[in-house]
Structure 1
């Protein structure tokens, strides 16, 4: 099953979750080198503001996060709240940065990859990028699942069987949140022994289908502004309506986080 990261019992939590205390370099090395024990899929989740909001209302998403093996602070507000709550996360580890690091370091002699991506062009471009690193049809499979695949039991049975047959070391889901995390959790027993990474828009950034914000905006936590400027219709509700739910989540969580912090002082 998807295993949890068992950190010290006294580790402060936010929103009831234990965050990884590794920086991006250390986490990438762990994901590249970790033996797949205990057996089962290991979900790596990257929590941002929208995820926090969704966790308040979507129990299936909550179950996926509760079972995650590693959880990183992706969004700047999440990172800042974690630090204020006494969680010693060394830096933000975004899904996009983590995925870009792994793409540069995956080795076809050691790592077998299975990816689910949103469209054919992303599949073609990602295949080309990884082929340049030595990947072929034996070590890399990229599928574009049909629309609404997560609701089709027969299709998912066939898909998970294809995944198991390829024996991937890493399964990368780029079909959106909360769909990716929920699908990984609900099919965890059928995926084999693999690290499962849900990467959001990271595949589109890596393949050039979308342009990521300049580095200075990422460093100051303003990447969301760039993304809104490039996709205002799609992202207006997320950033200017739904995001207020993050404040409510912090208000609800703060007494518990403060109590845990006090215990550790």
Structure 2
């Protein structure tokens, strides 16, 4: 059953609890594994725990949304109408940010470096599972031809998985002809796993807008995952991710697009961060008294 986020009083947690209790499939977690950081709930889960959830949902034929939070999503959330819906739908919210993991540790939460979860952290394990179990994996996103190229390359390494890639360049307006055509293709493919890589927040909005029309699959927004698989973007070495400096690699690779994300947006999170620090201090003071 759902566990209250650690360090959150009952009155604040009640709306989140009611929303989550309505969802049909939930992995049990200890209270310290579901926490609130900068006002938002995240799950402190290892990559292998996320994939265990994915595997169980596929075996049960259940639809499940696995979302993620990082500094960019926390900046966008209060500024993007409708984006919150995906976090209300999500059974798991990965923590895709080493700086946030260190910040959570500072607050006295039970975060560790191995709780960082993103596609690049679990890709090898995921594709090994998909290969062995014959999962049907569909990726929607990227420029024309990129997803198809990525699917072909991944299929060479993992022939047991059934892959398809579809462009993310279509009219995603609910009810549009382009959107209906994409939804029809998704349903026809009958994926076990649906990756949506349209960039944040477009991918989150698209999932939330179309959730009832999507098949029973595990649905994950994964950004540029298949750009990496196709070789059109170079992934940072994983040691940079573990050290929390992957953003530097990405900034130097694409400064025009990412300067505001990495050098401006974090300043807007100082207020929520200070609030977290004050609340953590109050908890420690109360515990000592």
Range of TM-score over shorter length = 0.7 to 0.9
Greater relative contact order: 1 or 2 (C-alpha under 8 angstroms, separation 6 or more)? 1
Tell me the CA shift for residue 16 of structure 1: 4.1
Candidates 133, 143, 151, aligned match of 1:127: 151
Tell me the CA shift for residue 254 of structure 1: 4.5
In 1, distance between residues paired with 2:212 and 2:146? Answer: 28
Which residue is equivalent to 1:196?
Answer: 219
Tell me the CA shift for residue 108 of structure 1: 7.1
In 2, distance between residues paired with 1:209 and 1:232? Answer: 16
May I ask how many residue pairs the two structures share in their alignment? 262
Which residue is equivalent to 2:70?
Answer: 48
CA 1:207–1:241 in structure 2 vs 1: closer, same or farther (change >3 Å)? Answer: same
CA 1:263–1:46 in structure 2 vs 1: closer, same or farther (change >3 Å)? Answer: farther
Give the alignment's TM-score, normalised by structure 1. Answer: 0.84
Alignment of 1:190-229 (within 5 A): 190-229=213-252
Alignment of 1:116-265 (within 5 A): 116-132=140-156, 133-134=158-159, 139-150=162-173, 153-255=176-278
CA 1:260–1:126 in structure 2 vs 1: closer, same or farther (change >3 Å)? Answer: farther
In 1, distance between residues paired with 2:286 and 2:102? Answer: 20
Candidates 123, 126, 140, aligned match of 1:99: 123
Give the alignment's TM-score, normalised by structure 2. Answer: 0.77
CA 1:232–1:28 in structure 2 vs 1: closer, same or farther (change >3 Å)? Answer: same
Tell me the CA shift for residue 230 of structure 1: 0.7
In 1, distance between residues paired with 2:281 and 2:176? Answer: 43
Residues 42-68 of structure 1: CA deviation (Å, up to 9, x unaligned): 211221111111112223112212321
In 2, distance between residues paired with 1:263 and 1:205? Answer: 48
Preserved contact between residue 36 and residue 193 of structure 1 (Cα < 8 Å) = no
In 2, distance between residues paired with 1:186 and 1:203? Answer: 22
Preserved contact between residue 181 and residue 198 of structure 1 (Cα < 8 Å) = yes
Preserved contact between residue 125 and residue 207 of structure 1 (Cα < 8 Å) = yes
Preserved contact between residue 57 and residue 64 of structure 2 (Cα < 8 Å) = no
3-state DSSP of counterpart to 1:142? strand
Q: Which moved more, 1:54-63 or 1:165-174?
A: 54-63
CA 1:195–1:261 in structure 2 vs 1: closer, same or farther (change >3 Å)? Answer: farther
3-state DSSP of counterpart to 1:162? helix
Residues 231-259 of structure 1: CA deviation (Å, up to 9, x unaligned): 11111111111221222332344455667
CA 1:5–1:26 in structure 2 vs 1: closer, same or farther (change >3 Å)? Answer: closer
Question: Gaps (5+ residues) in structure 1?
Answer: none
3-state DSSP of counterpart to 1:34? helix
Larger Rg: 2
In 1, distance between residues paired with 2:148 and 2:237? Answer: 25
Which residue is equivalent to 2:93?
Answer: 71
CA 1:57–1:78 in structure 2 vs 1: closer, same or farther (change >3 Å)? Answer: same
Which residue is equivalent to 1:113?
Answer: 137
Preserved contact between residue 114 and residue 170 of structure 1 (Cα < 8 Å) = yes
Question: Gaps (5+ residues) in structure 2?
Answer: 1-22
